[in-house]
Amino acid sequence: MGLDSHFGFDLDDTLDHPSIVDILLSVYARGHPVTVISGSKRKTLEAVKRKQMEVLGVPEKVPLYIVHGATFAEIADGKAELVLSLGIDLFIDDHPLFCSTIREKAPGVVVLRVSGPRVQRSKGRAEKLLGGHDGPG
């Protein structure tokens, strides 16, 4: 990997680790392209994910992509396709299926899997992040 390496990060249960956010901020500050790719089986609003990134300290200019799918396998395929199309050189994720699918479908990409205790999620998290509003409706 060179000075123009493109770094990709999963959001949920990956950027929840302060040390992973530190890595993102460090490579971003050095001018590397950085992208966040999040997967969801629900039609998650981008505003919810953006607010989550803001709370975690991710710069507003970092691009965010949300891959939707009915199954984790569909999301894994979508993440792999996006990693390839964006030219990401190194991708960090916590989900074993997503990591193995990206390794298989994008063999030139370095994939690192985050492990450790998962962050507890509370019910109504999206509503709290949006200040009481949980999307259109």
pLDDT tens for the chain, 137 residues: list them: 666 899 999 999 999 999 999 999 999 999 999 999 999 988 878 889 999 999 999 999 999 999 999 999 999 999 999 999 999 999 999 999 999 999 999 999 999 999 876 554 433 444 444 454 333 33
Whether 21 contacts 56, CB under 8 Å: yes
The 8-class DSSP code of residue 108 comes to: T
Give CATH for domain 7-129. 3.40.50.1000
Whether 113 contacts 102, CB under 8 Å: no
In the chain, where are the structural domains located?
7-129
Name the 3-class secondary structure at 110. Answer: strand
What backbone torsions phi and psi does residue 123 show, to the nearest 5 degrees?
-65, 140
